[in-house]
Amino acid sequence: MEQLILLNENSPNYSEMYDRYWSSPERVGESSADLSTVSDRIVALCGMGNILDIGSGEGRLVEALLRQGFDAHGIDVSEEVVARSNSRIPGRFHHGSVLDLPFEDNAYFTVVSTDCLEHIAPQDIPSALSEIHRICQKNVLLQIATTQDRDGHWHLTIEGRAWWERRCLEAGFHKHPGYYRLNDYESLNRDSWQIYIFLEKIPNAVVAKHPLIALEAERDLHMDMLREVGERSDAHVIRYHWAANYLKPGDRVLDAACGLGYGGHVLRHLTAAAKVTGIDGSANSIEYAKALYGSDTTRAEYLCGMLPEALSSFEDGSFDVVVSFETLEHVEDPVGLLKEFYRVLTPGGRIIVSVPNDWSDETGEDPNPYHLHVYDWQKLKNQLGNQFILENALAQTASRCKVKAKNNTWEARGRVLQPVPWTDESPLDCEWWLMTAMKSPLDNTIPYDERVFSNVLESKHPSLQYKKYFSNPWLMHSMVNVEYRIKDLIALGDLARDVMKAYPADTNDYAAALCVSAYIFLQKTTTFNNEASTLLAEIGAFAKRQINSPMALRWKVSLLFVKAKIFEASGQLEKAQLTYRECSEIEVGDFGVHLATKTTEGAFLAGKLAYGLGNIAAAREAWTHGINLGSKLLEARLEDITINTEFPNLFNHGDGVREYAVAWDNIARCANGLHLLQRGTVIDHFVLNNSLQTEYAGVTVDLISVRKVLENRTHELECSRATVVERTNALEQASQDLISRTEDLVNTRAILKERTEALERVSHDLISRTEELVNTRATLKERTEALEQVSHDLISRTEELVNTRAALKERTDALEQVSDDLISRTEELVNARAALKERTDALEQVSGDLISRTEELVNARVTPKERTEALAQVSDDLISRTEELVKLRATLKERTEALEQVSGDLISRTEELVNTRTTSKERTEALEQVSDDLISRTEELVKLRATLKERTEALEQVSHDLISRTEELVNTRATSKERTEALAQVSHDLMSRTEELVNARTTSKERTEALEQVSQDLASRTEELVNTRTLLKERTEMLEQVSRDLAASNEELATLRETLKPNG
C-alpha cells in the first residue's frame, strides 16, 4: 500500500470525503440503485459462494443478499457509514479502501461494487481494479454511473462502457460467460446513465503468460473476444449465447475453427453439455485456449488441426452439435466440409453456423485475403439445405452492412440480432447470417446412445426406454421432446409426415409422429377439414390396436387426449366428452405416474363438458372417477416419482415430481366439481378450475398477457430505439461530418489566412516593385526625354552632317576638278619645264629661283593627294555609321513605345491588384464572421447533444426523445447544410483568392521581369546613346578636322594656282 500511496500522491483523501458525505442528514439511508434487482441478478448469475460488496454504503445490498441466504459482507471507506451499518447487522461490514483491501488473496467467490468506482479519481482506477482482482476467486459484478451526479462533483471518473471495460481487461479480467444475460445485445448500442459490467477473473499465471498486449498484436487474425471491447467482441460472443439454446444436457459439442477457445468456455458455462471440443489450425491459438479455458479436462478439449482433414480422426456420429462460426468462407471446399460435419453428427444432431453477408467489393470478391468465398443468403441457405433440415435463421449486424435499396453501399448500423423467416430472397440487410439445421434423424445408421437422461437409465423406467420401444430412438429428442426437438414448426411437421411414411402404423415411431402432427394441427388451425378427418381416423385406428408395450400405452393415452382436443376445437363437444372419458379410464400403471396427468385431466374435462352439455349425471360420474384415480397415485413409490433418488432429474426436465403434482391438481379440480354439484348452485367456472395448477395457469396467463404486452411494448420500444439509434447514428454522423467540416473550415481558414498573409506580402512586394517601377518609369521618362533630346540633336547633327557631306561632296568634286586641273597643269608644267629647260640655258640668272619653286610645287602636289584619299575614307565611315545610327534610332523608338506599353499595363494591373486586395479583405472579414457563427452553432450543437443524451436515458421518454432527436437531427442537418454551404463558399473564395494570388504572383513576376528587361534595355540604350554621342562627337571633330584640312587645302591650292599662274 505504501507503493500505491507513493504512486498516487495526488489522490483525494477518500475517507475524509465520504465521512463528510455520510454524516450529512440527507444522506442517511440513501441508495442510488434498485438493490433488490441487483441482488436478484447476483443470485441468478454468480452462484452460491460468499460475496463482498465494495462501497457498501448503508448496507442495503448486503442485507438483501443475506435475506436470500448468501454469505455477504460489505466494505466502505467511510467509518461513519460502516458503524451505522454494523449497528443494524453486526459484524458484516468492514472499514477500508478499495485501493488497499484488508483481505487475503481469493477471499471472496464474488465481488460486487455498485455506485463506487466512479467516485474514484482516474489515476486510482487501475489500483482499485488490481485489488479487486487480487481478492476475488471468480466473479466480479460492477454497476457504474457514466454521467455526473446530481451535485456535479462526487463522480470523479466519468467514462463510458468501452473505457471501463478496457481498464478491467487490463487488470486481468475477461468478460464473464454470462455477460450477455445481464446486458442485452442490442441495448449495448448506447450507454445508459448506469451500466453493468460482469467479469470473470483470469489467474495471474495465465495473465503473465498471455498478456493482453500480446493478443492485441494479432487482433486482425486471432482475438479472444472475451478480452476485447466494442461491437465486434459483442457480435462474436453473443453467437455462442444464442447457440447455447440449441444444446441438450449431455451433448458432445464440436467448436470447429474455435480460434482462441472463448466460445467453448461460454457454451460450457451456459449449458450442461458433456464436453466441448475445439479444433483450430493455429498451434498458438490452441496453446492459449488450453491455458485459459482448458483446465476442466473432463468437459474441455482443444486440438490443433486443419479443417476438414482434422475431422478424419473422429468416428461417424462423434458429436451431437457442431458449432462453426465464420468458417465456411475460409476453406477451399465448404461443401466438402459440410459433408464432414454431417458425417460426425449423430442422427438429429445440429449444425450451427455463421457467415459474412456479401462482404464483396466492386470486383465481386471479398477484399479480406483470408476469405476464399463470398456468401449471401441464398448461397448459405442452399449449401446447408442440401444436406440438413433447415431450422432457424437470424440476421446479425454489429456496426454496418450493405443496403440493397442504396445500390449495396455500406451504411452504419447498430447491433441487431433478430430471427428471419425462410424466404427465397434475402429477407433484410445485415452484416452476417446465422443458421441452425438438423441432420435428419431418419439417417439412423448409428447405434443410439441416451445422453440427455443418462443419470436415470439404470432404473429401466419405461418412459426412458427409447432404444427398446422405438425403431428409431433418435426421434425422441429431435421430434418428440418439446424442449429439445427441432424448433421450426414447418420443419417439425415435415419431419413428422416423413416418419409416418417411413414406419408402419403399429409402431411407436408412427404413433409419436401422429401425435406431433395432431398438436401442430391444433396450433395452426381450428378448421375441421380433411386433414382433421384424416388425423382423427388415424388416431382411432391406433387406439383400437392391441397395446403391446408401456410406450404404446403412452401413445394411446396421448393420442386419445389430443383427439378429444381436436373434437373440442372443431365444436364436436359430445365426441370430445366421450373421448376425454375414454382417455381417463385407461390404466397407466405400467408406464408410470408421468402419464397420470392425461388421465386425471381427461376425467376433469369430461365432467366439465358433460356439465356444460346439461348432463349432470355424466359430470358427476366423470369427476367421481377422477377422484378415485387418486387411490392409484397413492400406490406410487418414491422411486416411481423421482426415478433415481440419488441422481434425480431436474424439475420439469424428465422428472416425475411435476407430473405427480399435476395429477393431484387435476384430482383437486374434480373434487371442486363434486363439491359444487352437491351445493346445487350454478357452477362458477373460476371456482371449478381453482387449484395450484390453475392458479399457476392464471399467473401464467397474466404473465403471458403481460409478456405479450411487454413484447409489443418491447417491439415498439425496439423500433423506437432502433429509430432513435438510427437517428442518433445519423446525428452523430452529422455531428462528425460537422466536426470534420469545421476542422476543414478551420484548416481552410488557416490556409486562407496564410495565403492572405502571403497575398499581403506579395501585394506589399508588388506595391514596392510598382513604386520602383514608377520610379524607373520616371527615370525612363527622363532618360527617354534625354534620349529624345539626343535624338533631336542627332537628327539636327545628322542633317548638319548630311549638309556637311553634301558640302564635302561638292568640295570633293571641286577638289577632283582641282586635281584634274592640277594634273592638266602638271602636264602644262612638264611642258613648261621642258620649255624652261630650254630656256634654262638662256635664263641662267633665274635658274636658282625656278628650281626652288619647282620643289615647292612637287611637295604641294603630294600633300593634296594624301588628304584627298583620307577624306574619301572618312566619308565612307561617316555614311556607314550614319546608317547604323538611323537604325539604332528606329530600334530605340520601337523599344521606347514598348516600354510605354509595358508601363501602361503595369499601371492597369497594379490597379487590379489593389482591387483584389480590397475584395480579399472583405471576404476575409466575411469568413471570420462565418467562422464565429460556426463556433457558436457548434457550441449550441454540443449543448443539444448533451440534452439529447440526458433525455434518452429515461426509457419511458423514448417517444419524446425520438421527436426531440428528430428535430435536433433536422436542425443539425440544416446547420450542417448551411455550414457545408459556408465551407463550400469559403473553399470557393479560397480557391478564388489562391488563383488571384497565383495570378498576382505571376503578374508580379512578369512585371518584375519586364521591369528588369526595361532596365536592361534602358541601360543598353543609354550605353548605346553614350556610345552614339561619343561617336557623333568623334565624327563631328573628325568632320571639323576634315573641314579645316579642306580649307587649308583650298588655301594651298589657291596659293599654288596663284603661283602657277603665268607672269604677265
> Taking the chain, what is the end-to-end CA distance rounded to the nearest angstrom?
156
Domain residues for the domain of 122 are: 1-201
Domain co-membership, 625 together with 758: no
- Highest mean pLDDT among 359-363, 394-398, 641-645 belongs to 394-398
Query: Coil, helix or strand for 75?
Result: strand
**For residue 137, what pLDDT is reported?**
96
User: What is d(CA 866, CA 859) in angstroms, rounded to the nearest whole number?
Assistant: 11
Interatomic CA distance for residues 204 and 202, integer angstroms: 6
Contact yes or no for 309/256 (Cβ under 8 A): no
Cβ 356 vs Cβ 326: under 8 Å: yes
pLDDT interval class at 774 (50, 70, 90): confident
> 274 near 251, Cβ under 8 Å?
yes
Q: What is the DSSP string of 284-300?
A: HHHHHHHHHH-S-TTTE
Peptide bond preceding 369: is omega within 30 degrees of 0, i.e. cis? Answer: no
Separation of alpha carbons 123 and 9, rounded Å: 10
Q: Are residues 872 and 936 in the same domain?
A: yes
Rg of the chain (C-alpha set): 57
Domain limit, last residue, from 170, 201, 232: 201
Q: Which carries the bigger pLDDT value, residue 479 or residue 1035?
A: 479
Residue 563 lies in a domain: yes
Q: Identify the CATH number of the domain in which residue 697 sits.
A: 1.25.40
DSSP assignment of 635-664 equals T--HHHHHS-SSSPPPTTTT-SHHHHHHHH
Task: Let me know if residue 328 belongs to a domain.
Answer: no
pLDDT of residue 162: 95
Do 711 and 640 have their domain in common? Answer: no
pLDDT digits (tens, 9 = 90+) for 927-944: 456 445 555 555 555 555
Indicate whether 1005 pLDDT > 90.
no
Q: How many domains does the chain have?
A: 3
SS3 of 243-258: HHCCCCCCCEEEEECC
Give the Å distances, CA to CA, from 33 to 124, 667, 931: 23, 46, 45
Long-range contacts of 825-833 (CB under 8 A, 24+ apart): 825/1057, 825/1060, 826/861, 829/857, 829/1060
User: Is 487 within 8 Å of 493 (Cβ atoms)?
Assistant: no
Q: Minimal CA–CA distance to 745: which of 501, 983, 419?
A: 983
Strand order in the sheet with 108-114: 93-95, 72-76, 51-54, 108-114, 136-145, 194-201, 173-175
What count of other Cβ atoms lies within 10 Å of the Cβ of residue 934? 22
Phi, psi of 58 (to 5 degrees): -75, -5
pLDDT tens column, 150-171: 888 899 999 999 999 999 999 9
What is the model's pLDDT at position 266? Answer: 98
Q: What is the pLDDT of residue 932?
A: 58
Asked whether residue 230 is assigned to any structural domain, the reply reads no
Q: Which of 100-109, 406-415, 655-664, 739-748 has the lowest mean pLDDT?
A: 739-748
Kindly report the three-state secondary structure assignment for every residue of 436-472.
EEECCCCCCCCCCCCCCCHHHHHHCCHHHCHHHHCCC
Q: How far apart are CA 1046 and CA 804, in angstroms?
A: 12
Q: Rounded mean pLDDT of 623-648?
A: 90
DSSP 428: S
pLDDT given at position 6:
34
- Confidence bin at 519 (pLDDT 50/70/90): very high
Domain end position, chosen among 151, 186, 201: 201
477 DSSP assignment: I
Cα–Cα distance for residue pair 250/724, rounded to 1 Å:
43
pLDDT of residue 268 exceeding 80? yes
Q: How far apart are CA 575 and CA 565, in angstroms?
A: 10
CB 218 within 8 A of CB 172: no
Task: Give the pLDDT score at 876.
Answer: 63
Q: Do 903 and 1001 fall within a single domain?
A: yes
For 199-248, write each residue's pLDDT tens digit: 999 999 999 999 988 887 776 678 999 999 999 999 999 999 999 999 99
CB of 240 closer than 8 Å to CB of 324: no
Burial of 52 by CB count in 10 Å (0-12 exposed, 13-18 middle, 19+ buried)?
Answer: buried
Same domain, 732 and 590: no
* 450-466: pLDDT as tens digits: 999 988 888 888 888 99
Distance CA 572, CA 439 (A): 40
List Cα–Cα distances, 926 to 173, 930, 981, in angstroms.
Answer: 56, 6, 14
Phi, then psi, of 222 in degrees rounded to 5: -135, 135
> Is 390 within 8 Å of 377 (Cβ atoms)?
no
**DSSP state for residue 59 in the 8-state scheme:** S
Please answer whether residues 344 and 317 qualify as being in contact, where contact means their C-beta atoms are separated by less than 8 angstroms. yes
pLDDT in tens, 844-873: 554 455 455 546 555 544 454 555 555 556
Residue with cell 473422429: 314
Beta bridge partners of 253: 276, 321
Q: How far is CA 217 from CA 222, 230, 282, in A?
A: 9, 17, 15
Average confidence (pLDDT) over 559-582: 95
1014 or 29, which is more confident?
29
Task: Read off the CATH number of the domain in which 126 is found.
Answer: 3.40.50.150
The verdict on residue 845 lying in a domain is yes
Same domain? For 916 and 1023 the reply is: yes
3-state secondary structure of 197: strand
The pLDDT-based confidence of 1020 (bands split at 50, 70, 90) is low
Task: Give the C-alpha separation, 957 to 749, whole Å.
Answer: 42
HEC string for 924-968? HHHHHHHHHHHHHHHHHHHHHHHHHHHHHCCHHHHHHHHHHHHHH
Identify the three-state secondary structure at position 28: coil
Look at residues 148, 173, 201 and tell me which one is the last residue of a structural domain. 201
The answer to whether residues 763 and 785 belong to one domain is yes
Same domain, 895 and 857: yes
Q: What is the mean pLDDT of residues 354-359?
A: 94
Task: Determine the angle formed by the axes of helices 573-584 and 596-612, rounding to 10 degrees.
Answer: 150
Cell numbers placing 11: 489522490
Closest CA relative to residue 238, chosen from 196, 195, 185, 282: 185
Among 266-270, 555-559, 732-736, 950-954, the minimum mean pLDDT is found in 950-954
Q: What are phi and psi of 141, to 5 degrees?
A: -120, 120
- State the Cα–Cα distance between residues 196 and 192, nearest whole angstrom: 10
C-alpha dihedral, 994 to 999 to 1005 to 1006, nearest 10°: 170
pLDDT of residue 939: 57
Please give the residue that has the higher pLDDT: either 766 or 303: 303
From residue 134, how far is each of 131, 168, 788 by CA, in Å?
5, 13, 104
188 and 59 co-located in one domain: yes
Higher pLDDT, 623 or 970: 623
How confident is the model over 678-733, as pLDDT tens digits?
998 888 888 888 887 767 666 666 666 766 776 676 567 666 756 766 676 677 67
How high is the pLDDT of residue 644?
82
Grid cell for residue 798: 545628322
Q: Closest by alpha carbon to 626, among 609, 645, 603?
A: 603
Computed from CA positions of residues 873, 877, 882, 883, in that sequence, does the dihedral angle turn out positive or negative?
Answer: positive
> Averaged over 315-321, what is the pLDDT?
97
Give CA–CA dist 486/390, Å, rounded: 9
Q: Is the dihedral of CA 889, 891, 892, 894 positive or negative?
A: positive
C-alpha span between 884 and 880 (Å, rounded): 6
Q: Is residue 425 part of a domain?
A: no
What's the per-residue H, E or C state across 541-573? HHHCCCCCCHHHHHHHHHHHHHHHHHHHHCCCH
The one-letter code for the residue type at 365 is E
The string of DSSP codes covering 354-421 is EEES----TTSS-SSTT------HHHHHHHHHTTSEEEEEEEEESSEEEEGGGTTEEEE---EEEEE-
812 lies in the same domain as 946: yes
Residues 696 and 788 in one domain: no
Q: Is residue 521 part of a domain?
A: yes
- For the stretch 58-93, pLDDT in tens is 999 999 999 999 999 999 999 999 999 999 999 999
- 3-state secondary structure labels for all residues of 740-762: HHHHHHHHHHHHHHHHHHHHHHH
Residue 555 has which C-alpha cell? Answer: 401413445
Does 970 reside within a domain?
Answer: yes
Task: Classify residue 273: in a domain, yes or no.
Answer: no
Statement: residue 786 has pLDDT above 60 = yes
Would the pLDDT of 512 be above 70? yes
pLDDT at 2 over 70: no
Quote the mean pLDDT of the chain. Answer: 82
Asked if residues 255 and 491 have their Cβ atoms less than 8 Å apart, the reply is: no
pLDDT at 196 over 50: yes
Same domain assignment for residues 844 and 714? yes
